[in-house]
Each structure stands twice: as C-alpha cells, then as structure tokens.
Amino acid sequence: MVAPALLSPRTPSPSARVPAATLIRGFGGNIPFRCTRSRLLFVAPSLRAPESYPLRAGSSNLGMAAGAGGVGSPERDSSPTAYEESLNCLSSLITRRTRADGTNKGDNFDLMFDYLKMLELDGPISRLKVIHVAGTKGKGSTCAFTESILRCCGFRTGLFTSPHLIDVRERFRIDGVEISEEKFLEYFWWCWNRLQEKTNDDVPMPTYFRFLALLAFKIFSAEQVDVAILEVGLGGKFDATNVVQKPIVCGISSLGYDHMEILGNTLGEIAGEKSGIFKQGVPAYTVPQPEEAMSVLKDKAFQLGIPLHVVSPLDSGALKDLHLGLDGEHQYINAGLAISLSRAWLKETGNAEGINFQDTFVRGLTITSLQGRAQIVPDSHLRSQERNFSLGDLVFYLDGAHSPESLEVCARWFSHAIRDVTQHSDTQGEQHFAGHNASQILLFNCMSVRDPQLLLPRLVNTCAQYGVHFHRALFVPNQSVYNKVGSHVSAPADSQHVDLSWQLTLQKVWESLTHSEKDAGLSSTRDHEHSSVFPSLPLAIKWLREHVQQNRSTRFQVLVTGSLHLVGDVLRLIKK
C-alpha cells in the first residue's frame, strides 16, 4: 500500500526523468529498477520484498535499501532532497488531534505488536538488552548519563530520546553520536516500505512517535548494540517504548505535574501511568518522590513481586573535584539514578567483573552531553559581526523546562549560572560583569494545554529568592510547527496573520506579576514597559541583537525556557 502521492512529490523535469526500466551496476551485476514518479523501486528477485529509495531528479547516485541485515548497500543518494523526502513522509504520520484529546489514552496500544511482526522485529527486540526510563523531570538526562557511563565501560550503546531539538536524527545515538544521514535513510525506508506494504484499514500506519520507536528498535538491532537505553516519550503504560517485554532494568526519575490532560490530575494517577513500565522479574529503581507518588510506585512493585530501590542523589565529593557534564544541582539526582541503573545492568548481564566503577563511572558522568538542558550558548553571530568593536555580550541560557517543578529547578540553575559570571551587585541590585552591566531577559513560550498561572510565578519567585529580576520578558510563538518535521521548518512568512492570542495571554500573566491589575488589563497591545510579544522568533532575536548594539556596556543574559520546541528553534537560529 502506497501513501497518497507521498505528500505530492515533485515530478522530475522531462530532461531529468529516468526510463521506465533502468540498469544500475552494483553487487557484481546489473540490477533492474523501476521508477514511479519520484520513487525508485528495486525489483531484483534476490531480496524478499521490493525496496524503494527517493529519487532526486538528475542524480546519478541511485541506491537501494538495505535488507534485513542492515548496512552494506552501494552508494546511495543522501542529499538534503532525499532526506527531506523522508521527513515529509514522517510528517504525514503526525496526528491532527490536540494533546488534550482524551481519546489519546491507550490508543490501541496492542497495534505495536502487529507492527513488530510486520517488520520482523519481534525476535530482535527480545534480544536487546534494554534500560527503560520514565519520569516527569530528568528522564532524558538520566538516560544520557547512563549511556555515557556504559560507553566508557567499553560497551556499544544505543540511545533513544525525545524530543529532538533541531534534527530528528538526534533521537538516535550510536556510541554517543547521532545516527548519520545515510544510515537514517537506509533504516527509515526499510521500515517505511514494509509498513506501507503490510498495513491496512484495520492496522493503519503507526503514528509519528510509534514509527520513531519502531525505527529505533530496527536501528539498534541492526547496529548490534550491547545496550539500548530507551527514554519513554509520554507516560509509560501506553508508551510505544513499553512494547519491550523484558528489559534488563527500569528506572523512574522525578515525578511531577505534566501532561495531566492525558496522564491524570493527581500525582498518584501520574505515578500509576509511569509505573506501567515495571515488569515482573525486572529490578526497578527510582529517586525520592512525593509521598503520594511513592506510595503508588511501591504498590505497583509489590503487585509484581519486584523490589523498588530508592536511590539517593550523587554526592558531589565522589567526582574528585570534577563536574558533571550536565549543569545544575538537580543533575546530581539524575546522576545517582544513572549510576544505579548502570550497575544493575552490568550485574544482570554478567558484565560487572573487571569494571573500575569509580574511575569509569566518574568519566562517564563528566563527559555527558545533552542539548537544551541547562545549556549556555553565546551568540556567535553577533560576535562575528562585531568582533572588532567593544560591546556587551548576548548569551543564551537554554533549558527546556515546562512543568512547575522543572521551572523552579531551571530558575535555580539560571540564578547560579549568572552569579558565577557576575562579579558583584551594587546597592540597587544591579548586576555587573567585568565592568559591564548585566541585564536578564526572559524568552518564553509554552503549550496552550499548560497553565501559565502555575509556570510563570514559580519561575519568577524562585529567581527573586536569589536576587535575580528580569528586566524584560519576550513572548513568541514557536518557529517550528507541530505537524511538520524538518530542519528547515518554520512559521508562515506572513507574520501579520499569526495568531498571537496565546502569547498575549502569557504576557497578561506576566504583567500581573510585575504590575498592578489595572496595568495588566491593558493586554490588547503587544508592548509594555517590561514585556513584549513578537509575531515570530527571528524578529525577537533581531530585536535582542539590535538592543545589544545599542547598549554596548551591557551583557544581556537571556533565559530561554517553557518549551523544548522553543529551545530547539533558538538553537537552530543562533547556530546558523
């Protein structure tokens, strides 16, 4: 079964069209291909099923997809055109339902087992030695720490995380490196074509995240990783990654209020969904939790007859004057969980002997990296434009926090981070850096299913406790769109017709925190003394850069938070 027109692919120009039957040399002989519009179909009888690869008009790099064994095919077209076509196909799997649609729950989870059979992955997935991690806060960081530790122990690692910030390939790491474009295309089309061929009305194509999880299983199986670390996408019980029936060890990071429209309105309900990854006979680990959540986790573990190990945060002294690769005091909680998960995996797989736990684990913890979590990025574009001038700096502090608890943690990190570079404050509380004034600006957006009345006060009040007060807040819509995947996806060019009602709502909440209720009611305009709404992120970045040039004695410290999508959009723009 072929998707309708594959999102209306472009037909090659007449001069670039390929004959109906073309012979391509490879594997020691002539290989017949059949071209249908923008698709190239491999019809050699030696493979179990026809394969296809995107055909770029005028290209001589015609390739064929890998068989079940994975890599090893002739040179193929891995140009941006071929890659973008795969992303267009991936975009077609994104459902149009809102995150608050109650029918999301469960959503025919058993279909995942049908997909595994279609892809002949039910055997390979059972042989993967999986570490499965759920949680509200810190699950991505925990997975990153765990992967780094086991890689330093000498094992071939596979890491699946979400969401991606700039490129979808970030979700799939082999030995700490995101999968190459060539291999991504190879495995993507291997999965895509088989599913297109075998799905039907009763078993439709998998949705976006489910396809990505299936792709991760294919990649890790074909790449023969020693350990696969899987981060749950949302919840746990009905998450696509939970199709793994026998992981080696499970972990649950800090729990809090998030995705309540799907997971439940209480910590107990949320913990019940997260604990859905627990399996009989599989050791489970967690960190200190609120009593309501911990009670549910313990009950679930008791029902399954498994111990639930509660892990203390890592003692910073264990690092021997070194620092964690991920910044922030909260990361010691995630690091402690990662250490326990790594030890359990080594023990359960019989690989603990001969491992120098102290030195190897410390090295793994100190070299861990993960974009968009407590990340500091100077604006290199501005510096390159003005390197011969004396001017203030523009530095972005990026953290994808999007729940009340995580925003409090983010506020503490930001306050400490700017304190570390700030030499002193005067009696009015104005901060200075190496002879420059320091001005803190908030760049914020969040999804409309979240409550800004819970998010923004938590952020503002925590910063205020450390003497940090934002001089201005900027509210913008996300540059990327939720129904499109790609590294060049952007908002409509016509910024005059962008719906800014949500950003104006965020601004009103902000003004109520910094002004009287009377002033806060004037939210029909975009500009206030302490806040602005911009119709696009590029315009906000442009304003910041111009503001720096007009205030050369000031260092501008911009906290970007509220949404990992926003963080990814900012990274994409400032790294161009």
Quote the DSSP letter at residue 169. Answer: G
The Cα–Cα gap between 214 and 117 comes to: 11
**259 annotated as ligand-binding:** yes
The Cα–Cα gap between 522 and 535 comes to: 18
Q: Would you tell me how many other CB atoms lie within 10 Å of the CB of residue 302?
A: 11
Tokens read off for 159: 């890491």
Q: For 407-439, give the DSSP string.
A: HHHHHHHHHHHHHHH--EE-TT--EEETTEEEE
**73 annotated as ligand-binding:** no
**201 annotated as ligand-binding:** no
Place of tokens 């049908």: 114
Q: Which residues pair with 228 in a beta bridge?
A: 130, 158
Cβ distance 571 to 372 under 8 Å?
yes
Cβ distance 434 to 395 under 8 Å?
no
The Cα–Cα gap between 439 and 558 comes to: 8
Helix axes 357-366, 139-152, angle to 10 degrees: 130
**399 annotated as ligand-binding:** yes
The Cα–Cα gap between 460 and 146 comes to: 32
Tokens read off for 67: 């068989």
Tokens read off for 66: 């890998």
**231 annotated as ligand-binding:** yes
Q: In what order do the strands lie in the sheet with 308-310?
A: 177-178, 172-174, 157-160, 227-231, 130-134, 249-252, 284-286, 308-310
CA distances from 568 to 398, 480, 541, 564 (A): 9, 9, 14, 6
Place of tokens 């359990």: 344
Please enumerate, by residue number, every residue annotated as part of a binding site: 162, 231, 259, 373, 399
Q: Can you say which residues are annotated as belonging to the binding site for ATP?
A: 373, 399
